[in-house]
């Protein structure tokens, strides 16, 4: 089932702005913000409105065609709808996809030891990526990165 069919089957339309917005998010692995998507979409559709980008990102996420996740500096969007985890480099701020580890064991353990029924869970890793390790980057965390990472380690 193609994206167009998914939309049409729910009474939604595949307009030019919508198609381009979906393409942009799907063709990147950088987990862009709405503003970043807007900038890229404008390269193909200069008259597009920022509101249209917001509206569509929201709608496409609701339809399950992309994933919306909250990060420290606002919402970010992910065209990869498969199960995977994320690694955030606190030196350069980039967010990398990492393969998910098996989920069933964690779910079972949670279910047996608490009153919680776990539908799903997320893992977010924080550290330094290969490039930054080689570069020995030791720049102080930005406010954004501090927020993402929670607090500065002593």
- Residue 70 near its own copies by CB under 8 A: yes
Strand-pair category, 84-89 with 67-71 = unpaired
Inter-residue contact 93 to 34 (CB < 8 Å): no
The burial class, CB within 10 Å (0-12 / 13-18 / 19+), for 89 is: buried
Strand-pair category, 67-71 with 74-78 = antiparallel
- Residue 61 near its own copies by CB under 8 A: yes
- Residue 34 near DNA by CB under 7 A: yes
Among 123, 135, 139, 142, binds its own copies (CB under 8 A): 123
Identity of the residue, 13 or 136, whose beta carbon is nearer to DNA in the bound complex: 13
Identity of the residue, 45 or 59, whose beta carbon is nearer to its own copies in the bound complex: 59
Among 23, 26, 28, 33, binds DNA (CB under 7 A): 33
Q: How far is the CB of 103 from DNA (least distance, A)?
A: 28
Closest alpha carbon to 137 in 94, 85, 74: 94
- Residue 67 near DNA by CB under 7 A: no
- Residue 84 near DNA by CB under 7 A: no
């Amino acid at each position: 089932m193609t994206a167009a069919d998914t939309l049409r089957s729910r009474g939604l339309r595949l307009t030019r702005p919508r198609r381009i917005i979906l393409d942009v998010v799907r063709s990147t692995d950088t987990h862009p913000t709405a503003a970043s998507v807007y900038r890229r979409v404008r390269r193909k559709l200069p008259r597009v409105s920022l509101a249209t980008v917001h509206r569509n990102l929201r709608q496409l996420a609701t339809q399950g065609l992309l994933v919306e996740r909250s990060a420290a500096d606002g919402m970010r969007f992910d065209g990869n709808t498969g199960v995977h985890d994320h690694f955030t480099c606190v030196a350069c701020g980039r967010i990398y996809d990492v393969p998910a580890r098996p989920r069933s064991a964690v779910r079972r353990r949670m279910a047996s030891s608490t009153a919680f029924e776990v539908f799903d869970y997320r893992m977010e890793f924080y550290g330094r990526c290969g490039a930054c390790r080689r570069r020995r980057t030791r720049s102080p965390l930005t406010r954004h990165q501090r927020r993402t990472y929670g607090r500065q380690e002593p």
